[in-house]
Amino acid sequence: MYQGLEQWKGDAIAGTPESLRSEAITGLPSAGRADHLRVSEGYDQDRSPLYYLVAASPVLLRAASWLPQSLLPLLAASPYIFFGLMLGASIWYVARRLYGNSGGYIALTLYCFSPAMIVNAAGTQSLGEMGAVWGTFGTVFTAVAVAHTLYAPREVVIWNWRRILLLGLSMALAAGNQFSLGVLALVILPLMFWVAPVRPRSVLVIWIAAVLVAVVLIFAAYFFKPVLFWRGLLHARWINFEPLAFGAAVSYGNAVGTLVAGSPALMVALPVALLTFLGWKRSRYFGNTAPLVMALFLLVLAIAAPSFAGQGFHLAALTFLFVFVSGMFADLVETKYSPLVIAGLLGLLGASAIWNLVELWKVAPM
């Protein structure tokens, strides 16, 4: 937050040598504050200045003079609360469009009563990952949405300029908050070709335009200083991939443990959803397959990056699993087993909601 505030005031650009003097002096690539900042030659390797600017934005309101002292923590957490609300709305909207009302409400309930999402949206005991997670989710499903529009015989860029801007903003949020999520720019291209194989040139034009928008937005986070921008990109860890991690049982244990803690209800429903997906051919359509593939891809990245001091991959994977599970159960609701499925869902989601409310009440200040 303090580095971002300095930048807002016109001082050093956050995440660069002038703002990270202590890390630059040590010369160690992992000499970060609180063990969550990896530095190379004074540059933050994992996050652009956008991450710091967002964290410091509430302080610009200078609210201490009119806001009660008890509400200052709420103000500090406001960017993450905003991202959390927008992510929840996005998950509900996507699931509802894909699977109908039942899918939308299942996904939204899983999201709202996920301990990991509650903690990160509240901005407590976290590194401010919600912006990256919302950007990741938005990047994938905005790419799918814009590709679907190409079946209509319209002019490519002019007709889709709003979606292109939204896709660029999503990529900027993802990569700007966590450089290694910049890989999504490459991942969505084959995804768009998969959705709209009829107009590959149009797909490529839209993709290039959106990437340019994202680059400009991240450049703006460096306050349009080309030298710092270029050096920041050169020092960024765009790939966090350690092959040896796949041979260590602890890597898988950490991934599973993080997911279970992140959403116990999801971990109960997921095996049923996976078995249904594997055994029921009718359920293996694009709307169910795409979020599952993205979740697995992000989990692979999480396992391959054991030294990354953040949960961006895990949290993003959870959002796609919410959508996948909601789609599978929405399909099951339409079968002859509907009463059993609905009863099981109500019991699971109801128990999850009650458990979360009880836990929140325990930790709430008296």
Please report how the helices 312-333 and 338-363 are oriented relative to each other, as an axis angle in degrees rounded to 10: 150
Residue 277: per-residue pLDDT: 96
Alpha-carbon distance of 229 to 222, in angstroms, equals 6
Q: Judge whether 318 and 311 are in contact, CB under 8 Å.
A: no
Where the chain has pLDDT below 50, the residues are: 22-34, 366
Q: Is the dihedral of CA 93, 287, 214, 51 positive or negative?
A: positive
356: exposed, middle or buried (Cβ count in 10 Å: 0-12, 13-18, 19+)? middle
**pLDDT in the model for residue 310:** 67
Q: What is the pLDDT of residue 36?
A: 67
- Please give the Cα distance from 240 to 309 (Å, whole number): 11
Sign of the torsion formed by the C-alpha atoms of 87, 47, 257 and 358: negative
Residues in the chain, overall count: 366
* 8 Å CB contact between 30 and 24: no
Question: So what's the pLDDT on residue 344?
Answer: 94
Predicted local distance difference test score (pLDDT) of residue 265: 94
Nearest to 342 by CA among 351, 352, 330, 355: 330
Tokens of 258: 């993080």
Q: Single out the residue of 102, 85, 145 nearest to residue 326, CA to CA.
A: 102
Sign of CA dihedral 132, 133, 138, 144: positive
- Output the pLDDT for position 27: 43
Contact (CB, 8 A) for 146 and 164: yes
DSSP 71: G
Q: Which residue ranges make up each domain of the chain?
A: 2-76, 78-363
User: Contact at 8 Å (CB) between 173 and 166?
Assistant: no
pTM: 0.91
Q: Give CA–CA dist 164/168, Å, rounded.
A: 6
> What would the pLDDT profile of 170-218 be if each residue is shown by its tens digit?
999 999 999 999 999 999 999 999 998 988 898 999 999 999 999 999 9
Say how far apart CA 220 and CA 297 lie, in whole Å: 30
Q: What is the structure's pLDDT at 66? A: 59
| CA distances in angstroms from 249 to 242, 245, 291, 311, listed in the order given | 14, 8, 26, 19
CA atoms within 13 A on the CB side of 5: 9
